[in-house]
Chain A
Amino acid sequence: MGVHHFTRREFLKAAGTVTAVTALGGMPFDALAAPYERRLVKFPEKTNLILLTSRPPQLETPLSYFKEQITPNDAVFVRWHISEIPTSVDLAEWRLKVGGNTEKELQLSFGDLAKFEKVSYTAVIQCAGNGRSFFDPRVPGGQWKNGAMANVTWGGARLKDVLNAAGLKAGSVDVSFNGLDRGPLPSVPDFVKSLAMDHALEEDIIIAYEMNGKPLTMLNGFPARLIVPGLYATYWVKSLSDISVNTKAFEGFWMNPAYRIPDTECGCIPPGSKPSRTIPIHRMSTRSLIITPTEGETLKTNKPVNITGVAFSGGYGIKDVIASTDGGRSWSQAGLGKDLGKYSWIQFTLPWKPAKAGTYTLMAKATNSIGDSQPFEGLWNPAGYLWNKVEPLTVKVK
């Protein structure tokens, strides 16, 4: 196998390409900046997003896009696991195979999928590792800040209807999902995820072929992806190609040992320790995030300002959001915006008129409809999942 590296000249050439591409977007970009830093890049069908990695692509959404309740398709974050990702799909050729322990095997075309009753709802999509870079002690993995999330209206066919069309046979225990992405070598574990049978038959799980009324972007899983609302996006398999009904629990690499959390009440353990038992990551923790004002912003004395942000949970809706302008000493009820359903995020607003100059620490804390809320200290687990700390944000008032 050839071991190669890029010469300085090749690097400059490649960097030039990137600069040229990005220049079209008119955003600041310095391809030659070293060492590694978060920078904006332009990928196909995407606006300028923050580059984590290029191959496979992992792109984070700048927080300013979360001022809107619905995240535009071109701003939705991107996260692939293995390098050979689909870059061209011909719908005339594409088929979704549904088989395994079923009465018959289906080979659904895109048109066949569209014939099932269409279901549409808004749901937060969030990477399990969103916020990983805030862990203390730090943990390896994709170093996301808070931009690995989005709120999107998905449209597609119920998984349940598709499974029933294939006909489930007795003894089915779970369903596994594979997409068009592949590892660069056969030895690299293919990205396959599974859901327990009773979960897979839940009404709200869909095979989505639309995001915000448009076809999926390629990097978000064209032509169709699984939507498991309330759960972290690791289960939302992109560019679906195979659904298999299994008589034994599927135990591939990406179910075990990957994407697991400590088997404790909080999914956390003492920082730096090792879990004695783990379970697959599942529902999203309740969380909120202040979007405006932004970290470090300077505000004016006696000028009214709205503290705004988003809050969501693992499919239970949000009961209330409280916010503080004095580092958590006192709290006020924030007003909640339009309710787009239990899987969507809800916007919150707290009007504020800072009377005195100084430095202020703002906080927001959400509680979902079953009483789950957010911790003041960051929870810790070795893979950097479930980040949902009440995050302090500092502003200056002059």
Chain B
Amino acid sequence: MKKTLVLTIILVLSLLIGAGLSRTLLAQQKDGVKSIELPAMVFDLADGPNRDKAAGFCAICHGAEYIPMQPKMSKAQWTATVTKMVKAFGAPIPQEDADKISEYLGGAYGTGK
């Protein structure tokens, strides 16, 4: 009795796994379709006032890594960068928030100048 149950479970599991595998294979084999799944990656920004504002607005268009990747910049350079995001790249950041984000970046990722 116990043996039958174990065998049944194994059979059901193999069928399920088999069905899953063949579905995957079919999806990959459909002629002329190429699909990829991008890995989800999340990066912590450095602590500081208005960190959440920066993280939120910047994430509309790009991953947070764009920020720590940059060389350390002065407050003026970070302000110019945020202005570029708004004016050139069309980021919908109200001026008041843009100012706070520049302040944050100049502090957390700045040269101190």
List the interface of chain A (C-beta within 8 A of B).
Answer: 1-6, 8, 10-11, 14-15, 17-18, 21, 34-36, 41-45, 51-57, 82-83, 87-92, 110, 133, 138-143, 183-189, 215, 218-219, 222-223, 253, 257-258
- Report A-chain residues with C-beta under 8 Å of the C-beta of B53: 3
Per the bound structure, the CA–CA distance linking A185 and B92 in Å amounts to: 9
Contact check, B44 vs A34: say whether CB atoms are below 8 A apart.
yes
List the interface of chain B (C-beta within 8 A of A).
Answer: 31-46, 51-53, 55-57, 59-63, 65-66, 68-71, 73, 77, 81, 88-92
Contact check, B42 vs A87: say whether CB atoms are below 8 A apart.
no
Per the bound structure, the CA–CA distance linking A92 and B81 in Å amounts to: 42
Per the bound structure, the CA–CA distance linking A222 and B53 in Å amounts to: 36
Contact check, B65 vs A15: say whether CB atoms are below 8 A apart.
no
Which listed residue (A18, A35, A184) contacts B46, Cβ 8 A? Answer: A35
Contact check, B69 vs A52: say whether CB atoms are below 8 A apart.
yes
Chain B residue with the shortest CB-CB distance to A14: B42
Contact check, B37 vs A83: say whether CB atoms are below 8 A apart.
no
Which of B38, B52, B92 has its CB near the most chain A CB atoms (within 10 A)? Answer: B38
Known contacts being A11-B44, A88-B34, A89-B34, is A257 close to B88, with CB within 8 Å?
Answer: yes
Contact check, A36 vs B37: say whether CB atoms are below 8 A apart.
no
Instruction: Give chain B's interface secondary structure class.
Output: loop
Contact check, B63 vs A54: say whether CB atoms are below 8 A apart.
yes
Per the bound structure, the CA–CA distance linking A186 and B35 in Å amounts to: 25
Instruction: Give chain A's interface secondary structure class.
Output: loop
Contact check, B36 vs A91: say whether CB atoms are below 8 A apart.
no
Contact check, A36 vs B43: say whether CB atoms are below 8 A apart.
yes
Contact check, A218 vs B36: say whether CB atoms are below 8 A apart.
yes
- Closest chain-B Cβ to A122's Cβ sits at a distance in Å of 24
Per the bound structure, the CA–CA distance linking A17 and B55 in Å amounts to: 20
Known contacts being A3-B56, A36-B69, A140-B73, is A222 close to B34, with CB within 8 Å?
Answer: yes
Per the bound structure, the CA–CA distance linking A187 and B37 in Å amounts to: 26
Chain B residue with the shortest CB-CB distance to A92: B32
Which listed residue (A5, A52, A140) contacts B71, Cβ 8 A? Answer: A140
Per the bound structure, the CA–CA distance linking A4 and B99 in Å amounts to: 18
- Report A-chain residues with C-beta under 8 Å of the C-beta of B73: 140
Which listed residue (B42, B43, B90) contacts A183, Cβ 8 A? Answer: B90
- Report A-chain residues with C-beta under 8 Å of the C-beta of B77: 140
Contact check, A42 vs B39: say whether CB atoms are below 8 A apart.
yes
Contact check, B51 vs A45: say whether CB atoms are below 8 A apart.
no
Contact check, B70 vs A110: say whether CB atoms are below 8 A apart.
no
A-B contact pairs, 8 of them (CB 8 A): A1-B60, A4-B55, A4-B56, A5-B56, A11-B43, A44-B37, A53-B65, A87-B38
Per the bound structure, the CA–CA distance linking A253 and B57 in Å amounts to: 22
Which listed residue (A11, A41, A183) contacts B39, Cβ 8 A? Answer: A41
- Report A-chain residues with C-beta under 8 Å of the C-beta of B65: 36, 51-54
Which listed residue (B37, B57, B60, B70) contacts A184, Cβ 8 A? Answer: B60
Per the bound structure, the CA–CA distance linking A345 and B61 in Å amounts to: 35
Which listed residue (A36, A92, A223) contacts B68, Cβ 8 A? Answer: A36
Contact check, A183 vs B36: say whether CB atoms are below 8 A apart.
no
Known contacts being A54-B65, A140-B70, A143-B69, is A188 close to B35, with CB within 8 Å?
Answer: no
Per the bound structure, the CA–CA distance linking A299 and B59 in Å amounts to: 46
Which listed residue (A2, A11, A54, A215) contacts B34, Cβ 8 A? Answer: A215
- Report A-chain residues with C-beta under 8 Å of the C-beta of B62: 53, 55-56, 83
- Report B-chain residues with C-beta under 8 Å of the C-beta of A218: 34-36
- Report B-chain residues with C-beta under 8 Å of the C-beta of A87: 35-38
- Closest chain-A Cβ to B45's Cβ sits at a distance in Å of 8
Per the bound structure, the CA–CA distance linking A1 and B59 in Å amounts to: 12
- Report A-chain residues with C-beta under 8 Å of the C-beta of B70: 140-141, 143
